[in-house]
Chain A
Amino acid sequence: MSGPIETTVRSPRSMAWARRRHAFGAFCREFSRSRSGMVGLGFLVVIVVLALLAPVIAPAWMLDLTKLLDQPRFAPPSLDHPLGTDDQGRELWVRMIWGARVSLLVGFAATAVSMIIGTVVGIAAGHFTGWTGGLLMRIIDFFLVLPSLILAIVLSVVLSRGVWTIVIAIGLTSWAGTARVVRAQTLSVESRDYIERARVLGAGHWHIIVKHLLPAVLPLVLANTTLTVGSAIIAESTLSFLGLGDATLQSWGSVLKNSMDVSAATAGYWWYVLVPGIAIVLVVLAFTLVGRAVETIVNPTLRSR
């Protein structure tokens, strides 16, 4: 951190970085004060570590049906089978850990797609006035209103099955909310004097967007990101549940689909339904808690909450 008296001349770039480091430090301190945010973050770290270590904790053969022939099927949770087993004798806890990989991967990747589209379209809709902005606004409104799950279903049906199809389907259908928030923020920043000054000094669209608008909207996008990961995970599980996922991969949604295929809900195999669902709820809840904590920090109008 710079002292009160700075004698050496620093370049604008290094000053900007120092300012950002400072802001990031302040953000982290503020975040660590939010108890619910920290609980959510801690839980997510544990899950991510478990997912990354899946091959170490539970070697892949534990999912190989040919090696599980003497395993009991539909064994309720017990000391031998902590979370019970499924209709083919696989341990549910193993499926959960492997499923976390796919569910989190899809959640993050789809969110990235959604955030990039949302930010680009949102800034463009706010920055370019006239018919470009009007048309973009029309498109944003259209996608905001359209039932994204239905559209995602359509996309996953017509494209070839696979994890990346799901990512694209969710990403392409969930960006409108972000675009709208980004557009609103862009409009409010655009009306400030320093943008006017930059424009008078001859700054082009590209300069204004990259140097002024993008830094101003990114905190909001960040808050939106954590919230969107949660809903992307729900969307992934819904699509897998409807049978649109990659059947060869484990995901929490596909475990639930298997449980419905064997009517676990009405046949009394309660663990088969409860375990994957609780996993989804806890992870999504954690993302929501973190997202709300971030939102409270970056959006000053929410501070009073």
Chain B
Amino acid sequence: MSSTVPPTEAVILEEQGEASVRSSPAVKFALTKIGGALISLAMVILLGFFAFKILPGDPVAKLAREHPMSPEQIAQLRAQLGLDKPLWQQFGDYLVNVFTLNFGESYVYKQSVASLIGDYFWNTILLTGTSAVIAIALGLWLGQKAGWRPGSRFDKVTSGTSLVWWSVPTFWLALILLMVFGGTLHWFPTGGMVSPNSPDDALGKVLDVIWHMVLPVTTMVAVVYAQYVMVMRASVMEEKSADYLVTARAKGLRDDDLRTRHAVPNALLPTVTLVFLHIGGLVAGAVTVETVFSWPGLGKLTYQAIQGPDLPLLQGTFVVFSAIIIFTNLVADFVYRRLDPRVRRG
């Protein structure tokens, strides 16, 4: 649910406009994009400091309210947490910690946040990556078919279902799937990533993980693909009325060729940026999906950090989630450049 409204043509048109402005030689392009990503990262880090060090107020005062402490204990705790230093010095410490990936120790797990995130990171990438690939493929395919014949039965069914999925909260769909296929039918496991009695051979292990992935991945795909359908549908509809398609049709090309060889490649261009933009929504979905299915990933860590509340852990997952998204957007910029020769040549 990163961008909160279904994207409209206005956004797509603007993306196109922006893209044609981004015309510069390869090196300059790469430098601007990487520079932009670094600025975004710096903003995340600033935001993190603001959210975790300034907004919550004095954590020691809060603790003292909950557990009675003597003034000496309070002073000692403040010194231990570095709260007795002036703000700029605290910011300096914070920067050093972020760059050395030292987010402190988790209250809940009693181990360093960095190692926790290291343990759970790839599980989340596996889950969201698989979901993203399936959702993008499915969404783009349905979207281009629906947009090619707007108003047709196929379009009505596709757009209608997409709208319904759009309105479904991710966690609720997860609960429903868990209830039907996990709790009632027992087709799939109700949680976790591996069975307690997981098979010993490599193939068996892989199949076991896939078996555990079915329900969470289905949930995430169902909630996210609708956005891709809408974007692609709008983009194909836009492309449909272009003059070159009239020419191609006049030449006598078959309708399917027209769509797959001419319209779709062009319609893909504005879609790519938006597709990557929505990765943020997918990552956010990971929080609730992993919570419901107890998938050992960053989302579940975030959930446990909320219950604490475990601020060091939450800060760690916040920075890592944001970094993942900034990185995918950087990739998107380069993919876009590869796809669109106009941007490349300038």
Which of B43, B163, B325 contacts A147, CB < 8 Å? Answer: B325
Of A235, A238, A277, A282, the residue contacting B175 (CB under 8 A) is A277
Residues in B whose Cβ lies below 8 Å from that of A270: 179
Task: Answer yes or no: B10 CB below 8 A from chain A CBs.
Answer: yes
Question: With an 8 A cutoff between CB atoms, is A83 at the interface?
Answer: no
User: In the assembly, what is the distance between CA of A285 and CA of B237, in Å?
Assistant: 24
- B-side residues, CB < 8 A to A, are 1-6, 8-11, 13-14, 39-40, 43-44, 47, 51-52, 55-56, 150, 163-164, 166-172, 175-176, 178-179, 182-184, 190, 237, 277, 280-281, 283-284, 287-288, 291-292, 302-303, 305-307, 309, 311, 314, 317-318, 321-322, 325-326, 329
B306 touches A234 (CB 8 A): no
- Would you call B51 and A154 a contact (CB within 8 A)? yes
Q: Which of B14, B43, B183, B287 contacts A149 (CB 8 A)?
A: B287
Q: Confirm or deny: A230 has a beta carbon within 8 angstroms of a beta carbon on chain B.
A: yes
Q: Closest CB-CB distance, A12 to chain B, in whole Å?
A: 30
Provide the residues of chain A in CB contact with B13, threshold 8 Å: 184
The CA-CA distance from A289 to B309 in the complex, in Å, is 38
**Taking the nearest CB of chain A, how far is it from the CB of B233, in angstroms?**
10
Q: Is the Cβ of B163 less than 8 Å from the Cβ of A145?
A: no
What separation, in Å, do the CA atoms of A64 and B283 have in the docked complex? 39
Binary CB contact string for chain A from 218 to 251 against chain B (1 if under 8 A, 0 otherwise): 0010001001101110110110011110000000
Residues in B with CB closer than 8 Å to A268 are 183-184
Instruction: Report the minimum CB–CB distance from A288 to chain B (whole Å).
Output: 6
Neighbouring A residues of B14 by C-beta, 8 Å: 180, 184
A305 and B238 CA atoms in complex are apart in Å by 11
Q: How far is the CB of B247 from chain A (nearest CB, A)?
A: 21
Residue pair A273, B176 in contact (C-beta under 8 Å):
yes
- Listed from nearest, the 10 A-B pairs whose CB atoms lie closest are A149-B284, A266-B183, A284-B167, A277-B172, A265-B179, A231-B4, A227-B5, A158-B56, A285-B167, A174-B4
Give the CA-CA distance A149 to B163 in the complex, in Å: 20
Q: Judging by beta carbons under 8 Å apart, are B280 and A148 in contact?
A: yes
Contact residue among B1, B40, B55, B164 (Cβ-Cβ distance under 8 Å from A231): B1
- B5:A228 contact, CB within 8 angstroms: yes
A-B contact pairs, 20 of them (CB 8 A): A144-B2, A145-B40, A146-B2, A146-B325, A147-B322, A148-B1, A153-B287, A158-B52, A220-B10, A224-B5, A231-B4, A237-B172, A238-B1, A256-B171, A259-B175, A265-B179, A266-B182, A268-B184, A273-B176, A281-B164
Q: Is the CB of B5 within 8 A of A177?
A: yes
Complex alpha-carbon distance, A285 and B169, angstroms = 11
Q: Please, which residues of chain A bring their CB within 8 A of the CB of B10?
A: 181, 184-185, 220, 299, 301
Q: Name the residue on B nearest A144 (C-beta).
A: B3
Residue positions of A touching B, CB distance < 8 A: 114, 138, 141-142, 144-151, 153-155, 157-159, 174, 176-178, 180-181, 184-185, 220, 224, 227-228, 230-232, 234-235, 237-238, 241-244, 253, 256, 259-260, 264-268, 270, 273-274, 276-277, 280-282, 284-285, 288-289, 291-292, 295, 299, 301-302, 304-305
Interchain nearest-CB distance for B152 vs A (Å): 13
Closest Cβ of chain A to B39, distance in Å, is 7
Q: Which residues of B contact A260 (CB under 8 A)?
A: 175, 292
> Which residues of B lie under 8 Å from residue A304 when comparing CB positions?
237
- Rounded to whole angstroms, the CA-CA distance of A299 and B234 in the bound complex is 14
Question: Which interface residue of B2, B291, B305, B325 has the most chain A CB atoms within 10 A?
Answer: B2
Task: Give complex CA distance A148, B3 in Å.
Answer: 8
The reply to whether B183 and A299 contact each other, CB–CB distance below 8 Å, is no
Of A138, A146, A174, A224, the most chain B CB neighbours within 10 A belong to A146
Contact between chains at A273 and B175 (CB < 8 Å):
yes
What's the minimum C-beta distance from A276 to chain B, rounded to whole angstroms?
A: 8
Considering the complex, give the chain A residue whose CB is closest to the CB of B6.
Answer: A227
With both chains docked as a complex, state the minimum distance between the C-beta of A95 and any C-beta of chain B, in angstroms. Answer: 16
Q: Which residues of A contact B168 (CB under 8 A)?
A: 277, 281
Contacts of B190 in A (CB 8 A): 266
Extra pairs beyond A145-B325, A280-B167, A288-B6 (20, CB < 8 Å): A144-B3, A144-B277, A147-B280, A147-B284, A148-B1, A148-B2, A150-B321, A151-B47, A158-B55, A158-B311, A159-B55, A176-B3, A181-B8, A234-B169, A238-B288, A260-B175, A276-B172, A281-B169, A288-B163, A301-B10
